[in-house]
Structure 1
Amino acid sequence: MAFQLDNITKTEKKVEERKPSTSFLQKEITFFGSKFSNKIKEDFYIELGVLIKAGITLKNALELVEDSQKNKLNKHLLGEISKDIVSGLSLSESVSQKKQFTEYEYYSLKIGEETGTIQQVTEQLGAFFARKNEQKRNLVSALTYPSIILTTATLVVAFMLYYVVPMFQDIFEQQKVELPAITKFIINTSEFIKSYGWLVLTIIFGLVITRTFFNKKKWFKKLKDKIIVKIPFIGDFIKIVYLSQFTQAIALLTASKVPVVYSIQLVKQMIDFYPLQNALNAVEQNILEGHSLSESLSQHQLFEDKMIAMVKVAEETNQNEFIFERLNTQYNTQVQQKSKLLSTVLEPFIILIVGVLVGVILIAMYLPMFKLSSVLG
């Protein structure tokens, strides 16, 4: 049975209206476990798929998953979904009313209901979030140790500028030693840190806090994504992460027999990465004008030649699902490899920078000491 695209389109306005403002504590990274996070979604969809496959009704399956939840907020959320099912709403309609779920999940579940493949769709959503969580763990693992080194190094340099340099400065002032330019620069930097250090920390902390509000602004997200893409190595790594999500989403939608144009529209709503969204807007227009998907992708540098060639093969052999699954596997392998390489590269790079900074401070302090010793001698 083919799904009714018109039925989904009619509810699009309804879904677009459910975009409430999200507070800081309800973002992806939370401190009190109040978020229906991607890890919980992974378990939710996998368990739901297993129970439905076992022949349990959707209502009973939701109740069983609800009973397994320890977090009261998550238990309450699933309880509300169960009540919606009892009152006559479909799972997708209930999800569309909950801000914890995305449009992508809504459309995927709606397609599953229209095609009678809700069990397969829930399993695919579980696999999607499992892969997304794995990518996040790889990224966190790659950046944790370099972040610790950078933080420690920053504190060491700040300590030297705040406490050590002023001690040498007092000696130089008492002996009235003529200071080299590099020593004057370090002393001026030290005085700035002592005078305005707390102000700088306040500004940095303020920027971190206000970033959550600026993230809601379209112009800020565009600027942030453009800057990230241009950062050496990190930009390529982020691009591959999003291409991995793109290929996985297309594979999931292709398996559900969703038309290419509509798949592109759904992926745009799912992936919040401006360069990819901008490219997909143009791809969608090119497809509507009669061009193939591979031809449309080839007009954007974001998509690699390897992907374009394989998509062209998929179109000629009518094996889109298989090809996109293969692409997704390859990109996931690249994500794992680059995350390890990222950690390997950043660690010595940070140590090198810190070593240079500490060395410059020490040289700047000891140059006048050598001159002082020669005068006293």
Structure 2
Amino acid sequence: MSQTFAVRYLRLGDDQVSEERLQAETEAGLRQQLTAQGFTVLSVRGTTAPTFSRPRKPQRGRFALFCREVSTLIQAGMTVVEAVDTLSARERLAGQADSLAAQLLGELEQGTALSQALQRLPDAPAVLVAAVRAGERTSDLAQALADYLRFDTLVEQLRRKVVSAAIYPALVTALGVGISLFLLLVVMPNFARMYTNLRGGGASGATSWMIGLAQWVSANQAATLTAVALALLALAWWIWSGFARRHLLTLALQVPWVRVRVEDFQLAMLYQALALMLKGGYPMTEALQVASRSALDARLTVALQQALQRIEQGGAVAQALADARLCDEVGRRLMAAAERNGDFHLAADVVSRLHREHFELFVERLTRIVEPVLLMAVALMVGGIVVMMYLPVFDMATRLR
């Protein structure tokens, strides 16, 4: 089971210590992973998260908005400090004293670089920090921020597709379960009493089982309603705490063809981050280290470390990525062509687009399959209950004749 650790480490080429909270199964495993990525680990301290509190998520939206506004102000002729001061003044007048701009302004006024100031924020995306650092190297911060915004837009578009595809099935499932609970808790007990009084005997088959269940619910109504309420509260907490997303993702990854498509999503982010780093002037090894922090699962992280080791030993980039199963044959040939002409960032951008298209096609096809299947399942569930309710009515009508 993964734990949360507070880590202090030093990245190669930096003169500032980074502090961050990372997830890992063991402290030794986390130290080994960071060391393999070229970081100097200073301290690792386990933290205990509150059991009933929702894990804090990085607020990606505020960083994207900040980058968009700063880029606009820089293009209008302001310096970085003036742009951040302008945003801080506006937010201070709006009553937002603890805004992102206000947190950065104090350090910028002391001469700290924007990349270092961002790096000290606990939830700053690593790709953003690296992009800003690249912009400071090339003296084109506005372009670096624009490149990061394209990366952020790609990630948000893919996530939005997943959320949009999940909304309709969730509503259909909730509606079906709600109707079934209403029939079982309200309608069936009354129907069971009426049927018993009129017929004076028991039914047979599935109808007998449903009537017996309805009578038990009627006799234990308080306990049943309490159990249903507790189940709904547990379900709400499971979703709100974030465990639902992790558990469902773990379950989905057990299906091979789903795992391949999820890897397409992760590889799209990986190659887009790699294109951003390479365009900013990072060497391939350092770009891969930064890109590896773009939400990869355990298999892809290990595979990327293996590819990185081969590249550091002088191996070809395209072959190392292909042997680690981080790209298909088309991606391998694109990266091999980039090794000849030097346009690695263009090749990485194309590979990212290919994986993104594969994932989007998968989401679209899965949605078209799941929606009618769920509708049929809900219709069968509700319809089965209704049919079992009305079968005794037909039986009583036959006896009255």
The TM-score with structure 1 as length reference comes to 0.79
Deviation at 1:309, TM superposition (A): 3.5
Shift of 1:357: 0.7
Residue of 183, 188, 198 corresponding to 1:160: 183
Write the letter of the residue equivalent to 1:108: A
281-290 or 262-271: bigger deviation: 281-290
Residue among 112, 118, 122 paired with 2:141: 118
Shift of 1:71: 6.3
Tell me the C-alpha RMSD between the 2 structures.
3.5
Structure 1 residues 364 and 18: alpha-carbon distance in aligned structure 2, compared to 1, 3 A threshold:
closer
SS in 1 for 2:281: coil
The answer for unaligned runs of 5 or more in structure 2 is: 1-9, 23-46
CA offsets 1:180-203 (integer angstroms, 9 cap, x no match):
442345456655795232232233
Does the 8 Å contact 2:20/2:122 carry over to 1? no
Q: Which residue does the alignment assign to 2:282?
A: 258
State the Cα deviation string for residues 278-310 of structure 1 (Å, max 9, x = none).
432333334345443333333455644433343
Question: Relative to structure 1, is the Cα distance of residues 153 and 202 closer, same or farther in structure 2, using a 3 angstrom cutoff?
Answer: same
| Superposed displacement of residue 43, structure 1 | 2.9
Paired residues for 1:65-84 under 5 Å? 65-67=87-89, 69=91, 72-73=95-96, 76-84=99-107
Q: Which one has a larger percent helix, Structure 1 or Structure 2? A: 1
Deviation at 1:250, TM superposition (A): 0.8
Which residue of 341, 349, 353 maps to 1:325? 349
1:252 aligned counterpart, secondary structure: helix
Output the CA distance in 1 between the equivalents of 2:209 and 2:150: 56
After superposition, what is the alpha-carbon deviation per residue over 1:288-343, rounded to whole angstroms, capped at 9, x for unaligned? 45443333333455644433343333334432111112223334444544444444
CA distance in 1, matches of 2:136, 2:356: 29
Q: Which fold has the larger relative contact order, with Cα–Cα distance below 8 Å and residues 6 or more apart in sequence? A: 1
Among 4, 9, 13, the alignment partner of 2:12 is 9
Q: State the distance in 1 between where 2:212 and 2:307 align.
A: 54
For 1:106, give the aligned amino acid. V
Which residue matches 1:42? 64
Specify the alignment match of 2:378 in structure 1.
354
Q: Give 1:129's aligned amino acid.
A: D
Given candidates 109, 116, 119, the residue that maps to 2:132 is: 109
Letter in 2 for 1:358: V
Q: Distance in 2 between matches of 1:362 and 1:233?
A: 37
Code of the residue aligned with 1:296 in structure 2: it is A
Structure 1 counterpart of 2:380, one-letter code:
V
Mapped partners of 1:111, 1:189: distance in 2:
67
Whether 2:200 is the aligned partner of 1:200: answer no
CA contact (8 A) 1:248 1:328 kept: yes
- Residue 147 of structure 2 aligns with an amino acid whose one-letter code is Q
Aligned-pair CA distance for 1:158: 1.6
Contact 1:225–1:275 (Cα < 8 Å) also in 2: no
Equivalence map 1:1-377=2 (5 Å): 8-9=11-12, 11=14, 14-17=17-20, 24=54, 26-27=56-57, 37-67=59-89, 69=91, 72-73=95-96, 76-174=99-197, 175-187=199-211, 191=216, 195=224, 196-211=227-242, 225-230=249-254, 235=259, 237-300=261-324, 303-377=327-401
Aligned counterparts of 1:73 and 1:233: Cα–Cα separation in 2: 46
What amino acid maps onto 1:89 in structure 2?
Answer: T
Structure number with higher strand proportion = 2
Match of 2:112, SS state, is coil
Maintained 8 Å contact 1:180/1:368? no
Quote how far apart the aligned CAs of 1:263 are.
Answer: 1.9
DSSP 3-state at the match of 1:269: coil
Amino acid at match of 1:64: T
| Letter of the 2:234 counterpart | I
Q: CA deviation at 1:255?
A: 0.8
Q: Please tell me the residue identity of whatever aligns with 1:58.
A: V
- Code of the residue aligned with 1:27 in structure 2: it is K
Q: In 2, distance between residues paired with 1:335 and 1:357?
A: 32
- The alignment covers a number of residue pairs equal to 356
CA contact (8 A) 2:202 2:208 kept: no
C-alpha displacement of 1:364: 2.4
- Larger mean Cα displacement after TM superposition, 231-240 or 142-151: 231-240
Q: From the superposition, tell whether residues 151 and 225 of structure 1 become closer, same or farther in structure 2 (CA, over 3 Å).
A: closer
TM-score (norm 2): 0.75
Contact 1:248 1:325 in 2 (8 A): yes
Structure 1 residue 233, shift from structure 2 partner: 7.2
Query: How far apart, CA to CA, are the structure 2 residues paired with 1:171 and 1:139?
Result: 47
Q: Which residue of 2 aligns with 1:32?
A: none
Matching residue of 2:3:
none
